[in-house]
Amino acid sequence: MGLAQTGHYRWRSSLIHYCRWGSGGKLLICLHGYGESAESFACLESALGQSFTMLAVDLPFHGGTQWKEGLRLGPEELQEILEGIAGELGGGSKWSFLGYSMGGRVALSLVERMPGRVARLVLAAPDGLVVNGWYKLVTRWKAGNLLFRWMMRRPGLLLSLAKALNRVRLLNKSVYTFTVNYVHDAEDRDKLYKRWTTMRGFRPDLDAFCAQVRAERIPVGLVYGRQDRIIRVEVGEQFRQRIAPYGELIVLDCGHRVLQERYAEAFVRLLEGGDEPW
């Protein structure tokens, strides 16, 4: 793996940290998962770097980004940030997108805003294809968000509630597992609240998205892990059918961590295809 070229982009009062790999003529915007960073995509540099210039930013409260804009970032602001960085790097008129986990939901929202400028989209074990009621409650409504903040200070109560909701199937297993993993440490709880709240504006309209894919003939690749218990492959197959014939699903023999160098060929196949859909 080659070393990333790193930099900071001044946006309003914040410094957005980003990584860049490769020297190809096509621009690939990479969007990382929860609790990760732009560096997550370094594993794909050797496979994609000759065809693409890979640009990955650290989202708010992740990596090296110094976020000073409060608990809010929307698709329009992130597009402005990416336009600014891409302009400095000489980005072309059309971009490809690669979104992993939480970054998949972010990518869906961005593509929905700018479908005519999208060359290809790859969603790797993506969040955003299923709307979870708990996440919706604690991020979209003020009362729910206040409850979320209150419970972040009472982890024992939060765990008891999560177990009860999971038991009666009002909280799906993926969110339950996520909650259990992140509420034991005070710093992790604080980051969870800030990250979820800040990214609440990324709410893709899947009906509109699917219509745009068909209208603009955007190839959409889906990469899932067969043993993933967080983002289930069945959801990916259902979505592939919704965007047929513009979608291809690749299922890897792994869990949620599909972003690994040994699986790079799957991303090459989905990102370096011809002009026609699969």
Report mean pLDDT in 10-residue bins for the chain, 278 residues.
86 98 95 97 97 97 98 97 93 92 97 96 95 65 72 76 79 71 81 91 94 97 94 96 97 97 98 64
Q: Give a yes or no: residue 45 inside a domain.
A: yes
Together in a domain, 112 and 21: yes
Asked if the structure places residue 277 within a domain, the reply is no
Residues 114 and 152 in one domain: no
How do 247-252 and 220-225 pair as beta strands?
parallel
31/124 same-domain check: yes
Query: 62: Cβ–Cβ under 8 A, 6 or more apart, which residues?
Result: 32, 35, 36, 37, 195
pTM comes to 0.89
Q: Which of 170, 198, 226 is the last residue of a domain?
A: 198
C-alpha–C-alpha distance, residues 53 and 215, integer Å: 27
Does residue 278 sit within a domain? no
What's the pLDDT at 153?
Answer: 76
What residue numbers bound the domain in which 143 lies?
133-198
Residue 218 lies in a domain: yes
Within 10 Å of residue 164's Cβ, how many Cβ atoms?
11
106 and 152 share one domain: no
222, 148: one domain = no
CB of 98 within 8 A of CB of 72?
no
**Is 152 a member of any domain?**
yes
- For residue 138, what pLDDT is reported? 65
CATH of the domain at 107: 3.40.50.1820
Residues 193 and 211 placed together within one structural domain of the fold: no
276 domain-assigned: no
Task: Specify the long-range contacts of residues 19-23, CB closer than 8 Å, at least 24 apart.
Answer: 19/54, 19/55, 19/56, 20/53, 20/54, 20/55, 20/56, 20/89, 21/45, 21/48, 21/49, 21/53, 21/54, 22/48, 22/49, 22/50, 22/51, 22/52, 22/53, 22/54, 23/49, 23/50, 23/53
Domain match, 180 and 112 both: no
Looking at residue 278, its pLDDT comes to 45
